Every structure is written in structure tokens, then in C-alpha cells.
């Protein structure tokens, strides 16, 4: 009796599993989802785009995963995704790897604008920071808020994992390719950085402007003599904000079929309007 129960359970479980396999393709057409992978900065934007696009085009699925621009680029090179989200441009070496593995060049498509924001806790009174100061903080040369005119408190710097495009962008543009200090706390996502900074009065962090809630965004000055600029649509579009950057889609070769329709929609009015709703800035204004 017990035997038969066990066998029955196993058989029914097997049936459930196999029914998934055996089911014919929906509406007689084998459609596989469009995969979008990569930047954690862009993941909320890509999710918004995907949700809205799927509402208008039922039957099509778009799958969005984050993990960092590095994950998306690796997936593109390995052939594991249709569209790669990247918050930094691909390096020539990476583009070469795509060419050598797939025989086609990457197509680089800027889809939105971002002002990389510097976060501090809401109770932090610092007026502004120059780029050299930010660099000194993250390379470990400034370790106390006192050196910036604030209280005597040990500075805690939060940053992203090395798979992040934001990490790379920050390294290149702010640190001039110097290494991050070892003491920089690495967190796996911008959300985690914002969360940590909001809880820690002596902390500083960086990330996409869309994530900025619950913390203060510090205006940035290019150097001692420049004006302090806060990120906004106007300052980022003209490049006046020193840490403005493009957010990219990358595909292997020219996009076609469903992928192309999606990208066209993203670059069109509806898609671009969503940028602002999420918290970034549209790249194309009509």
C-alpha cells in the first residue's frame, strides 16, 4: 500500500513535469522570449519598457535580468542574450571578442541619458564636491569628513561590484583609471547602495539618478573654480553636469524582427517618455 502511494506520487509528479514539455507551442508559432540582460542601473528602466511594450503587444515576451553591465556584456559575447543593457560603452577588446566569436560587429544604440549621482545621507550638510575630491575619497586618500570641512567622522565609501558598468564608468571618468581603495564597500546593486547610505550618516555612494530617494544628491563641481551643478534634464543633456553619461543597448549585428520592433519603440515617443517616469532622462526629445 505504502509502495503504491509512493509510486503514485512519483508518477503524478512526473506527469506534471512532462506536461510542461509536451505542450505544443502557443498559437502554433514557436516564439521565444526576447532577452534583455545587463546593467543594474538600467534594469528598472528596461523593466518599465518591457512591461509597457508587452501590454501593447500581447503574445510577445521580454525577459529582463540585471546583474551589472559586465554580466550583460559577457552574455552578449557568450551569445546568451539578444539585447545587452550597458551603463558604460563597450571596450574595443570586448567588441573584438564579439566580432571574433560571432562574425558580426556590435551595434551600439544609446537609449537614454543618466546623470551619475553622488549620494550622501540626508543629514549630511556638505554643499558640493569637486571631481578631484570625489576621486580622493574613492582612492582612499581622504578618509575623514573633517578633511572636507565637515564633522570628525570616518568616511565610509560604498561602491558597486566590479561587474557593474557604473563601477567602470566611475573608475574611468572620476578615478582616471586608478584603482578603488580596498576599503570601499562593494554592494551588489544601486538599491543596496542607496539603502546603506540612507542608514549611515558618515557614508557616501554613487549610482544612477533614478535611484535617488531617501538620500541627498550632492552637486558636483568639475574643479575648484567651476560652479556646482546638480543633475537634471537640462544639465545632463548639455553635458554641463560633469558625470553625465549615455545608457546603451547593444546587439550583435543589426537588430531584426521582434528585437528591432522593441528597440524602435523604445526610441520612439512612448518609450522615451517612460525614461522620465522612471527617473532618467530621454535621449531623444520630440
Partner 1 sequence: MPLPKLQRIGILSDRFAAFIIKGSAFVAILSLILIFVFIGKEALPVLTSPEVRSEASLSRLFLPQVHHAGEAAEFSWQPISDVPKYSLFPLFIGTLKVTLIAALIAIPLAVAAALYTSEFAPSWARETIKPCIEVLAGIPSVVVGFFCLMVIASWLQGAFGWTYRLNALTAGIGLSLAVIPIVYTVSEDAFSSVPQAFREGSIAMGASSWQTASRVVLPAAMPGVLAACILGFGRAIGETMIVLMASGNAAVLSWSPVDSIRTFSATVAAELGELVQGSPHYHVLFFIGAFLFLLTFVINLIGRWWVGRLQKKLQGAF
Partner 2 sequence: MPSNWSDRTELKGKAMQALTALACLIIIAIVAIIIGNIVTYGAGKLSWEFLSEPPRDHFTKGGIFPAIFGTAALVILMTIAVIPLGVATAIYMHEYAPKRSRLVHFVRLAIQNLAGVPAIVFGLFGVGFFIEFVGRGIDRGLYGGSLVYGQPAIIWSALTMALLTLPTVVVATEEALRAIPANYREVAYSLGATRWQMIWRVVLPQSAGGILTGGILAVSRGSGEVAPVMFTGAAYSLPELPVRLHNQFMELGYHVYVMSTQAFDVEATKPALYSTVLVLLMLTFLLNFTGIMIRARIRKRLRDGR
Q: Which does 11 bind (CB under 5 to 8 A by kind): partner 1, partner 2, none?
A: none
Q: Does 124 engage in binding with partner 1 (CB under 8 A)?
A: no
Q: Which does 6 bind (CB under 5 to 8 A by kind): partner 1, partner 2, none?
A: partner 2
Find the part of the chain contacting partner 2 (CB under 8 A) among 74-82, 116-124, 133-141, 254-262.
74-82
CB-CB contact of 158 with 204 (8 Å): yes
CA–CA distance, 75 with 38 (Å, rounded to integer): 8
Residue 199's DSSP bridge partners are: none
Q: DSSP for 197-216, please give it.
A: HHH-TTEEEEE-GGG--SSE
Taking residues 89 to 108 in sequence order and writing x for each that binds partner 1 by CB under 8 A, - otherwise, the string is: --------x-----------
CB-CB contact of 226 with 60 (8 Å): no
Contact pick of 34, 46, 196, 274 for partner 1 (by CB under 8 A): 196
Q: Does 261 engage in binding with partner 2 (CB under 8 A)?
A: no
Rounded least distance, CB 15 to partner 2, Å:
11
C-alpha cell at 163: 561587474
Q: Does 179 engage in binding with partner 1 (CB under 8 A)?
A: yes
Contact pick of 77, 247, 259, 267 for partner 1 (by CB under 8 A): 77
DSSP 30: -
Q: Which does 14 bind (CB under 5 to 8 A by kind): partner 1, partner 2, none?
A: partner 2
CA–CA distance, 188 with 174 (Å, rounded to integer): 20
The residue ranges of DSSP E strands in the chain, in sequence order, are 34-38, 62-65, 83-86, 106-115, 117-120, 129-130, 156-160, 185-187, 203-207, 216-217, 220-221, 228-229, 244-252, 281-282
Q: Does 255 engage in binding with partner 2 (CB under 8 A)?
A: no
Q: Does 36 engage in binding with partner 1 (CB under 8 A)?
A: no
Q: Does 191 engage in binding with partner 2 (CB under 8 A)?
A: yes
CA–CA distance, 56 with 75 (Å, rounded to integer): 28
Contact pick of 35, 121, 133, 168 for partner 1 (by CB under 8 A): 168
Contacts of 283 (CB under 8 A, 6+ apart): 110, 111, 112, 113, 246, 247, 267, 272, 275
CB-CB contact of 41 with 165 (8 Å): yes
C-alpha cell at 88: 558604460
Interacting residues with partner 2 (CB under 8 A):
2-3, 6, 10, 13-14, 16-17, 20-21, 23, 32-33, 35, 40, 44, 47, 50-51, 54, 61-66, 75, 78-81, 187-192, 194-195, 198, 211, 213-214
Interacting residues with partner 1 (CB under 8 A):
67-68, 70-71, 73-74, 77-78, 97, 154, 156, 161-163, 167-168, 171, 177, 179-180, 182-188, 196, 199-200, 202
Amino acid at each position: 500500500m505504502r509502495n503504491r502511494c509512493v509510486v503514485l506520487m512519483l508518477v503524478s509528479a512526473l506527469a506534471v513535469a512532462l506536461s510542461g514539455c509536451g505542450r505544443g507551442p502557443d498559437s502554433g508559432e514557436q516564439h521565444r522570449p526576447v532577452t534583455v540582460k545587463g546593467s543594474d542601473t538600467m534594469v528598472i528602466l528596461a523593466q518599465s519598457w518591457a512591461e509597457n511594450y508587452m501590454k501593447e503587444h500581447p503574445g510577445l515576451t521580454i525577459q529582463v535580468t540585471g546583474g551589472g553591465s559586465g554580466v550583460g556584456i559577457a552574455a552578449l559575447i557568450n551569445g546568451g542574450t539578444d539585447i545587452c543593457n550597458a551603463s558604460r560603452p563597450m571596450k574595443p577588446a570586448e567588441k573584438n571578442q564579439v566580432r571574433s566569436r560571432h562574425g558580426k560587429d556590435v551595434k551600439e544604440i544609446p537609449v537614454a541619458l543618466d546623470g551619475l549621482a553622488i549620494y550622501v545621507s540626508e543629514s549630511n550638510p556638505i554643499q558640493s564636491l569637486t571631481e578631484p575630491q570625489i576621486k580622493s575619497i574613492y582612492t582612499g586618500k581622504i578618509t575623514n569628513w573633517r578633511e572636507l570641512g565637515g564633522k570628525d567622522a570616518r568616511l565610509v565609501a560604498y561602491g558597486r561590484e566590479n561587474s557593474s558598468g557604473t563601477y567602470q564608468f566611475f573608475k574611468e571618468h572620476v578615478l582616471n583609471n586608478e584603482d578603488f581603495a580596498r576599503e570601499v564597500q562593494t554592494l551588489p546593486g544601486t538599491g543596496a547602495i542607496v539603502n546603506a547610505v540612507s542608514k549611515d550618516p558618515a557614508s557616501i555612494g554613487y549610482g544612477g539618478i533614478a535611484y535617488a530617494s531617501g538620500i541627498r544628491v550632492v552637486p558636483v563641481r568639475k574643479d575648484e573654480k567651476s560652479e556646482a551643478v546638480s543633475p537634471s534634464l537640462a544639465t545632463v543633456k548639455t553635458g554641463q553636469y560633469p558625470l553625465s553619461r549615455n545608457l546603451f543597448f547593444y546587439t550583435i549585428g543589426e537588430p531584426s524582427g521582434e528585437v528591432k520592433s522593441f528597440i524602435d519603440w523604445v526610441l520612439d515617443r512612448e518609450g522615451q517618455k517612460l525614461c522620465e517616469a522612471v527617473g532618467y532622462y530621454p535621449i531623444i526629445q520630440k
